[in-house]
Amino acid sequence: MKCETKPFGKTAAGEQATLFTLKNDNGMSVSVTDFGANVVKICVPDKDGKVADVALGFDDIKGYEDNDNYLGAFVGRFANRIGGAEFTLNGVTYKLEKNDNGNCLHGGFGPYGIKMHEYEFVEDEDSIGIIFSRLSPDMEQGFPGNLDYSVTYTLTNDNEFIIEYFANSDKDTIVNFTNHTYFNLAGEGSGSVYDQLAWIDADSYTPTDAELIPTGEIAPVEGTPLDFRTEKPIGRDINADHIDLKNANGFDQNYALKTKAGDATLVATLRDPKSGRKMEVYTDLPGIQLYAGNFLNATGAKGGRSYKRGEGVCFETQYFPNSCNVKAFPYKPLKADEEFNSITVYKFVNE
């Protein structure tokens, strides 16, 4: 196993970014950058040994500086949407940045995905990784507390891409990290993922209003086109006559998982029958957002390509959207004397 480094361009502010490529002994590699701790490439062999990059992204730093689609993005301080761009903690109401129809999406303007991070390498007998870390200052994006956080990316010889989140704060605050990689198991730039098969181990989901803010209800998937408990093509029901699909222009829903804190459980899979590639998703978080790239419109991507609707799908492990404002949702703030930690694993196999 090894890690290769190379320059990844300079930011508009003149900061030099670096691309780190983790390689295992099976022909799989993962490339990440210290600019935003973004995931740039995930190269995986198919059933015949042919390697393809299954993660949508850009060839250099310029694309990630203006990454409105959040390709490969590490998201914080609070992933997904916060209704009205505000929350109340310890009797104080905090006003956040309104970057999505009057709501706060993925932390607001100036997200973690455009911040430079410090890094250090970690290596074991059967794995190699890199830790990106940064101090998010008190009231950055409107969130209280100096948040010392890190995200560790590890590649194993079992073809596991492991993401571990850690944080602590000097004040009570809210934290909800995720990764926003768009996957296409046929290879990025190969077209629609609608024929690829998804499975999600969830009996319920969180309905939303027209602005994609959860209503507070946890509703059953049974009898709806949102049911992925039996594996099916992503595109089969994406245009079905259902209010939540209409609100989101397709699949962009949070599923309530059966996980337990500290125990990474298999919660979802994605499979491409043609290449034989299959991705298994494990997490200890209570929710996962299935986003089928309904509003994907990224120009100047890898190889000069443009990505359009449906050319990638995200499996964003998370706390429920707006959970900081909905008491019925499984969430608790991060106390000043506590540590936040969580794990998500994307494991690749061939069938």
The catalytic residue positions are: 180, 316
CB 96 within 8 A of CB 108: yes
Distances (CA, A) of 43 to 21, 119, 306, 330, 345: 10, 22, 19, 35, 16
Q: Degrees (nearest 5) of the Cα angle 210, 216, 220? A: 90
DSSP state of 140: G
Q: Please provide residue 169's backbone torsions phi and psi, each rounded to the nearest 5 degrees.
A: -135, 155
CB 251 within 8 A of CB 292: yes
Radius of gyration of the chain (CA): 19
**DSSP state, 208?**
B
CA atoms within 13 A on the CB side of 95: 2
- Sequence-distant (6+) residues with CB within 8 A of 321 are 80, 81, 82, 206, 208, 212, 213, 214, 254, 287, 289
Half-sphere exposure of 254 (CA within 13 A, CB side): 28
